[in-house]
């Protein structure tokens, strides 16, 4: 099963509103990352939060991590139409070598 699972699967909001996406995972992690993917393009790394961190900010992005609940959230404040994209959380798994496991993603649509 997937290490990371996001909810909601899809989110539609008005420009200016905040968007919150959640990610849950199953096993212990060293860190968790969030990525963004525009339609038909590769992924862009947004932010990395380590397992000993609880909150991290980057511009309009705010990421929280709750290791006791094995969950993370990504908040985009004052959303813009250009924020329309899919957002994925990614966690690590050590199976004789670290690899990154991506969640199913949240498709965000910001209406102008």
Residues that bind another protein (CB under 8 A): 2, 29-31, 33, 40-45, 48, 88, 90-92, 94, 97-105, 107
96 CB contacts (<8 Å, ≥6 apart)? none
Q: How far is the CB of 61 from another protein (least distance, A)?
A: 14
Phi and psi based region of residue 24 (left: phi greater than 0; alpha: psi -120 to 50; beta: remaining): beta
Q: How far is the CB of 43 from another protein (least distance, A)?
A: 4
Q: How far is the CB of 60 from another protein (least distance, A)?
A: 19
Q: How far is the CB of 15 from another protein (least distance, A)?
A: 23
89 CB contacts (<8 Å, ≥6 apart)? 4, 6, 23, 25, 32, 33, 34, 35, 72, 74, 102, 103
Give the Cα separation of 36 and 106 in Å (integer): 10
**Total count of residues recorded for the chain:** 112
């Amino acid at each position: 099963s997937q290490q990371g699972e996001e909810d909601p699967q899809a989110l539609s909001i008005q420009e200016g509103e905040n968007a919150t996406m959640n990610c849950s995972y199953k096993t212990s992690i060293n860190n968790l990352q969030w990525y963004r993917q525009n339609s038909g393009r590769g992924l862009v790394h947004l932010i990395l939060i380590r397992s000993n961190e609880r909150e991290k900010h980057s511009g309009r992005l705010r990421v929280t991590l709750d290791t006791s609940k094995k969950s993370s959230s990504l908040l985009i404040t004052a959303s813009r139409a250009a924020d329309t994209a899919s957002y994925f959380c990614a966690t690590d798994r050590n199976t004789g070598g670290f690899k990154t496991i991506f969640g199913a993603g949240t498709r965000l649509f910001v209406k102008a």
